[in-house]
Amino acid sequence: MVKNSTDVLFSSVAKSGLRIGSAKSIEHLVPWVIAVIAISFLYFGRAVLVPITLAILLSFLLAPIVSVLRKLKMGRHLSVIVAILLALGTITITSAVIISQAGRLTKDAPAYAEGIAMHVNDAITALRAYYLALTGRTHLSESLLGATKGVTDTQPRATRFWRERLLIGIAAALNESAHGHHAQAQAIADAILADSQQDGRMVAVAEAHLVRAFVLARCPTGQTQALAPLVAGLNLIGMHAIPGLLHEWRELVKDHAEALRGLLDPAAHVLLERIEREWGGRVQKDLLSDREVSVLRGVAAGLTNKHISRECGLSVNTIKFHLKQCFRKLDVQTREGAVETARQAGLF
């Protein structure tokens, strides 16, 4: 009898606990149910709610206009009609302008894409011609340029970017100088300097001075005149902290190092000392590790970082790290500069 009573008691307690637990679970679900109902209402009622919302916003926007019109002695209804017409007219005009501009952009998009592709190809060609001319491969440089004579006159300023014009002009001047056409080379160098000064870009002006000095130095009658533009270019490089230009023209600077002493500004004099210290002799054979030399060999072969990583069995990030180390050790800024310096040093 006692056992049966105990079983009944525990059974009733268990049922009441279950009801309490169920009630707490339902309380946690209530916010989610309300959120689902609200979202469903907004989603399925958007066809009605959106116009109502826009109408309310439009009424707030038109209220000041209606007030102004009523102050001008217009009736209430007439003021509302005029305000609505003004709003519709504004929306119509704005939509028409946007549609016309979008249509024009769509129509001109192929021309824009073609123009961008042309500028990119021309810039790559100019860069290649520039480095080929710097390394003495005149015929290859001329084949890329097409023709060197009159290049600065036949390409209007508006059709080329400043850097592209500068590279083409430098390549043309160096090619003419290599052929012994010193007058033409000096004319192109003068045109480069004038164009760079008009743009007001100190990097271009500094390099234009160096080009002019290089051309004059290779001219039998202009060697004594090369010092002035060389000093001007080095002073600009030192003043504006653009030492990256020194790599391409370091031989020119080294040839005139003695004459430059005492003529340069303090900042440019520091750069001269740096050239003498770091480029006074050939690069040491053990300056680069075997791995770095193998990476540079891949660069010299025209391989991308991805292809070099496959050849060396390394990741692309590791190849990039080795290239940065090569740039730092050789004091260069570009892949072409690193390859040329390594070749001059006899590393490969």
pLDDT band at 159 (very low <50, low <70, confident <90, very high): low
| pLDDT score recorded for residue 274 | 65
Q: What angle do CA 181, 184, 190 make, to 5 degrees?
A: 135
| pLDDT score recorded for residue 348 | 66
- Rounded mean pLDDT, 91-114: 87
Percent of the chain at pLDDT exceeding 90:
3
Question: What count of other Cβ atoms lies within 10 Å of the Cβ of residue 256?
Answer: 20
- Rounded mean pLDDT, 196-206: 85
Q: Using the predicted structure, report yes or no on whether residue 93 has a pLDDT greater than 90.
A: yes
Q: Using the predicted structure, report yes or no on whether residue 286 has a pLDDT greater than 80.
A: no
| Locus of tokens 């123009």 | 115
Distance in angstroms (rounded) separating the CA atoms of residues 53 and 45 = 12
Q: Using the predicted structure, report yes or no on whether residue 66 has a pLDDT greater than 80.
A: yes
Amino acid at 84: I
Q: Using the predicted structure, report yes or no on whether residue 204 has a pLDDT greater than 70.
A: yes
Most confident of 51-55, 138-142, 232-236, 321-325: 321-325
Is pLDDT larger for residue 203 or for residue 153? Answer: 203
| pLDDT score recorded for residue 333 | 85
The H helix count followed by the E strand count for the chain is 16, 0
Q: Using the predicted structure, report yes or no on whether residue 23 has a pLDDT greater than 80.
A: no
Q: What are phi and psi of 279, to 5 degrees?
A: -120, 25
| pLDDT score recorded for residue 150 | 41
| pLDDT score recorded for residue 98 | 92
DSSP state of 157: G
Range in 65-74, 84-93, 254-263 the model is least confident about: 254-263
Note whether 126 and 167 are within 8 A (CB).
yes
Q: Using the predicted structure, report yes or no on whether residue 323 has a pLDDT greater than 50.
A: yes
Distance in angstroms (rounded) separating the CA atoms of residues 103 and 97 = 10
Cα–Cα distances in angstroms (integers) from residue 19 to residues 7, 33, 108, in the given order: 19, 20, 72
Is pLDDT larger for residue 119 or for residue 286? Answer: 119
| pLDDT score recorded for residue 162 | 79
- Rounded mean pLDDT, 174-179: 88
Q: Using the predicted structure, report yes or no on whether residue 47 has a pLDDT greater than 70.
A: yes
DSSP state of 262: T
Percent of the chain at pLDDT exceeding 70:
79
| pLDDT score recorded for residue 8 | 47
| pLDDT score recorded for residue 325 | 87
Q: Using the predicted structure, report yes or no on whether residue 151 has a pLDDT greater than 80.
A: no
| pLDDT score recorded for residue 243 | 60
Q: Using the predicted structure, report yes or no on whether residue 303 has a pLDDT greater than 60.
A: yes
| pLDDT score recorded for residue 246 | 66
Cα–Cα distances in angstroms (integers) from residue 206 to residues 237, 240, 246, 268, in the given order: 6, 10, 10, 12
- Rounded mean pLDDT, 174-189: 88
Is pLDDT larger for residue 212 or for residue 73? Answer: 212
Q: Torsion-angle region of residue 170: left (phi > 0), alpha (psi -120 to 50) or beta?
A: alpha
**Average pLDDT of the residues of the chain:** 78
Element (H, E) at 193: helix 182-199
Note whether 302 and 348 are within 8 A (CB).
no
